[in-house]
């Protein structure tokens, strides 16, 4: 893509992202991610037909979590999250101190404070994920505000599957068209 076309392409995508919505649940068909949780860029929202561990999903946070994210300045109310499924029904998820453990295997550390030095939510103990629950965690991004801090969520909070369309996979400003969801 030439430098002259880039602004036009971005403008068209921005218009499409703000005007196109899914038929159900008022979820945008396209999402522009600016958070460090997953690569920055444009994602398509597709129906969440088959949920599996590692799937990248669009999540509408429940009211208490939406309030926490909004008041903490992490994410405005009404903006969906992009998170990976890390554990499903029957799996055991524990937080012991700052360590997340899934089915007896250490998965990822949690932080005690966010980048601004504020304390992060700190649940402790073990939980067997129920049939109507899911544990979300972007394990390869230590700054992701995810299940490490808010624990399991209802499956009903998953409103779509996120598919990368035009994303900055390496974080170097070089956007990739249709990268594999990692």
Question: DSSP string of 131-146?
Answer: TTEEEE--TT-TT--S
Query: For position 77, what pLDDT does the model report?
Result: 93
- DSSP H or E run through 94: strand 92-96
Domains and CATH numbers, the chain: 5-177 (2.10.109.10)
Q: Kindly report, residue by residue over 133-158, the tens digit of the pLDDT.
A: 999 999 999 989 999 999 999 999 99
Residue 44 has pLDDT above 60, yes or no: yes
Looking at the whole model, is its pTM more than 0.85? no
At 23, is the pLDDT very low, low, confident or very high (cuts 50, 70, 90)?
very low
Does the pLDDT at position 51 exceed 60? yes
Q: With bands split at pLDDT 50, 70 and 90, how would you rate the model's confidence at 9?
A: very low
Angle made by CA atoms 51, 53, 57, in degrees to the nearest 5: 55
Q: What is the mean pLDDT of residues 107-128?
A: 95
Task: Give the residue ranges of DSSP H helices in the chain.
Answer: 5-19, 63-71, 147-150
Which residue's structure tokens are 């218009």? 15
């Amino acid at each position: 893509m030439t430098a002259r076309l880039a602004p036009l392409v971005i403008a068209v995508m921005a218009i499409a992202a703000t005007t196109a919505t899914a038929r159900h649940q008022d979820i945008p068909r396209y999402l522009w991610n600016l958070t460090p949780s997953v690569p920055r860029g444009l994602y398509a929202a597709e129906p969440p037909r088959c949920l599996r561990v590692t799937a990248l999903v669009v999540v509408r946070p429940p009211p208490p979590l939406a309030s926490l994210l909004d008041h903490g300045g992490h994410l405005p109310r009404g903006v969906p999250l992009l998170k990976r499924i890390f554990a499903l029904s029957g799996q055991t998820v524990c937080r012991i101190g700052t360590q997340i453990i899934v089915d007896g295997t250490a998965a990822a550390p949690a932080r005690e404070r966010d980048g601004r030095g504020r304390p992060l939510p700190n649940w402790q103990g073990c939980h067997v994920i129920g049939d109507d629950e899911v544990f979300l965690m972007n394990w390869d991004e230590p700054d992701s505000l995810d299940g490490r801090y808010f624990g399991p969520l209802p499956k009903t909070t998953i409103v779509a599957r996120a598919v990368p369309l035009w994303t900055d996979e390496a974080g170097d400003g070089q956007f990739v068209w249709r990268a594999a969801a990692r």
